[in-house]
Amino acid sequence: MAVPRTAPILVASNRGPVSYTLGEDGSLTARRGGGGLVSGLSAIGPESGGVWVCAALGEGDREAARRAGDSHLNPGDTGGQQVRMLDIAPDVFAAAYNGVANSVLWFVHHLLYQTPVEPVFDAEFAEQWAAYESYNAAFADALAQEAVDEAVVLVQDYHLALVPAMLRERRPDLRIGHFSHTPWAPPDYYRLLPDDVAAGVLRGILGGDRAAFLTERWATAFADCCAAVLGAEIVRDGDGDGDGSGSGDGGGMVTAVRFEGRETRLGVHGLGADADFLRERSRQADVDERLSTLRAQIGPGRKSIVRVDRTELSKNIVRGLLAYRRLLETRPEWRERVVHVAFAYPSRQDLAVYRDYTERVRRIADEINEEYGTEGWTPVALHVKDDFARSLAAYRLADVALVNPIRDGMNLVAKEVPVVSERGCALVLSREAGAYAELGEDALVVNPYDVEGTARALHEALRMSDDERADRTKRLAAAATSLPPQAWFLAQLRAL
Ligand code: G6P
C-alpha cells in the first residue's frame, strides 16, 4: 500500500529511533534508541502526524523495512511514532555510510586526516560518491511522497547533505531545514574534498530554506566554505538594514548565504541536556546497582576521573590516557589514590581505522596498568561494552570528567555529567568541543593536542575544593540545560 501525503512535519536521519535484531526463527526484536532527536521529536507527539524517515542499518532493520513495504513500521515498536525505514541496497548503503559519510565527510569536519598520506580520492571514491547521491535521492523520494503541501522537513546531518536540494526539486512547496550535528571544517581543510564533492555538499544544503548548527563557530565555517568554494555571498547581522554597516564582510554574526538568486538562512541551536529525563533515569535501580559495582571497583577513599565516549577517533581517548599516565608520572602523590574510569563504547566497527583505534586504546590502558598498577589498585578501568545505566552511575560518582575531543559538534557528555553528578564534578573540557561555547567559563579548558597541559588540568581538577567543585557544577548544569531537546526541536520548527 502506498503511503498517502499526510505528514505535516518530517524528520530525516540516517539512524532512526528504533533498530531491529533478527532472530534465528525469523522473529524481529525492536530496540528503541535515545538521544536528542528522539526526545526532541516527542515535543510534537505522535498525534501530530509527524513522520520520521530513516535508513535500515543492519539485517534486522532491513527485514523490518521489507515487511513494512512502503508503509510505516509497527507503531508498537516505536512508541507510537510513525517511522518509515528505507530498505536501501546493502552495497549502496555501505558505500554511502561507511565510504562517504563516515570515512570522508566525518573525517573532514573533525580534521582527522593524516594529510601526508590521506585522503586519496580515487576511482573507488568516485563510485562511493555516486552511491551517496542515490542514497540521498532515496530519502528525497520518500520525503516527497509523505509530505502534505507546505510541510516542514528537518533533515539531519552529514549523511543527508544532498537531500535539501533534491527535495526542493521534487517538492518546491516544502519548507526545508538542514541541521548539522558535527563541527564544520574551515575552508582550507574542507577543500581537501574533490571540487565537485565540496561544491555538491554545499549546494545540497543550500537547497534548503535554512541550515542550522550547534554553535556559531560551525555556522560561520559553513558560510566561509560557501564563499570560498561557490563564491556565494555571506549575509551578516546588520547587513542591508540601511545603516551603512552592511558591507557583507563586517564583524556581525552570519545570518544567511546568498547563492544563485536564493537565500538560505543560517541558524544556531545548541542542543542541551535533558535534565528531567536524566535525573529520573539516573535514580533507577539498575543505575544504583552499577553504582555499587563501580564504587567497589574504584575502592574506598579514591577519586575517579571518568570519561564516556564512543570509541571514536575524534574523541581523543588515546591522548586522554597519555595525559593520565603523565599525571601518575609527574604527580606520584596520586598513585593509588585515583582511578581513571574510561567507557569507550564500540562504534563503526566496520571501518578498520576504528577497530585499530579501539585496539590502541586497549593497549595503552593495559600498559598504564602494567606500569603503575599495584596489588590493590588498577589505575585504568576501561570498559568497551555499551551500557547506558553504567554511564549514568559513573556520572553520579565522578570527581572529574574528562572531555577532550579533537573536535566535536557539541559533546553531550560534558552537559550530562553536571546534571547527574551527586557531589559536584570538575569538568576538564576541550576548547574544540561545541560545548565549550556554553561551558567554557566553569570548566578547566584544555587544548586537546596538549598532553602535558591536559595532565596539569587533571591535577588541578583533582585538587579542586569540594565547595568550588559544587559551585561550578551548579553553574555548569544550568548552562547545560538551557536548551533541552524538546525546546531545541521546537525552536527549529518555529524558525522554519
Ligand atoms: C554522531 C553523528 C550522528 C550519528 C552518531 C553515531 O553523533 O552526528 O548522526 O548517528 O554520531 O554514529 P553512527 O555512525 O553509529 O550512527
Whether 68 and 60 have beta carbons less than 8 Å apart is answered as no
* Residue ranges around ligand 1 (CB below 6 Å): 15, 102, 157, 181-182, 347-348
Among residues 396, 436, 430, 399, the alpha carbon closest in space to that of 416 is found at: 396
Ligand 1: distance of its center to the CA of 311 in Å? Answer: 12
Ligand 1: distance of its center to the CA of 112 in Å? Answer: 16
Tell me the C-alpha distance between 180 and 265, whole Å.
Answer: 14
Q: How high is the pLDDT of residue 246?
A: 41
Whether 416 and 423 have beta carbons less than 8 Å apart is answered as no
Q: How high is the pLDDT of residue 487?
A: 95
Q: How high is the pLDDT of residue 2?
A: 60
Task: Tell me which DSSP letter residue 333 carries.
Answer: G
Whether 347 and 315 have beta carbons less than 8 Å apart is answered as no
Residue 213 has, within 13 A of its CA and on its CB side, a CA count of 25
- Report ipTM (2 d.p.): 0.99
Atom 9, ligand 1: residue with shortest CA distance: 157
Q: How high is the pLDDT of residue 245?
A: 42
Q: For Cα atoms 42, 47, 52, give the angle at the middle one, nearest 5 degrees.
A: 55
Ligand 1: distance of its center to the CA of 441 in Å? Answer: 28
Q: What percent of the chain has pLDDT over 70?
A: 97
Atom 16, ligand 1: residue with shortest CA distance: 15
**Residue of 310, 313, 415 to mutate, ligand 1, most atoms within 8 A of C-beta:** 310
Tell me the C-alpha distance between 325 and 329, whole Å.
Answer: 6
- Which ligand 1 atom is at minimum distance from the Cα of 102? 14
List, in sequence order, the alpha helices (H) in 36-122. 36-41, 59-68, 90-94, 106-109
> Which residue reads 512547496 in cell numbers?
173
In the structure grid, which three cell numbers stand for residue 257, read together?
A: 548565504
**Residue of 159, 347, 413, 415 to mutate, ligand 1, most atoms within 8 A of C-beta:** 347
Tell me the C-alpha distance between 413 and 21, whole Å.
Answer: 27
Backbone angles phi, psi at 339, to 5 degrees: -130, 135
Q: How high is the pLDDT of residue 40?
A: 87
* Run of H or E including 32: strand 28-32
Q: How high is the pLDDT of residue 112?
A: 98
Ligand 1: distance of its center to the CA of 421 in Å? Answer: 25
State CA 426 to chain mean position distance: 23
Q: How high is the pLDDT of residue 47?
A: 87
Ligand 1: distance of its center to the CA of 29 in Å? Answer: 22
Atom 8, ligand 1: residue with shortest CA distance: 181
How many other CB atoms are there within 10 angstroms of residue 134's CB atom?
14
Find the largest Cα–Cα distance for the chain: 74
Q: How high is the pLDDT of residue 44?
A: 85
Q: How high is the pLDDT of residue 46?
A: 84
The segments of the chain whose pLDDT lies below 70 read 1-3, 240-250
Whether 13 and 52 have beta carbons less than 8 Å apart is answered as yes
pTM of the model: 0.96
Helix (H, G, I), strand (E, B) or coil at 62: helix
Ligand 1: distance of its center to the CA of 182 in Å? Answer: 9
Ligand 1: distance of its center to the CA of 466 in Å? Answer: 36
Helix (H, G, I), strand (E, B) or coil at 356: helix
Tell me the C-alpha distance between 55 and 141, whole Å.
Answer: 13
Give counts: helices (H), strands (E), the chain: 19, 17
- Which ligand 1 atom is at minimum distance from the Cα of 157? 9
Tell me the C-alpha distance between 343 and 422, whole Å.
Answer: 19
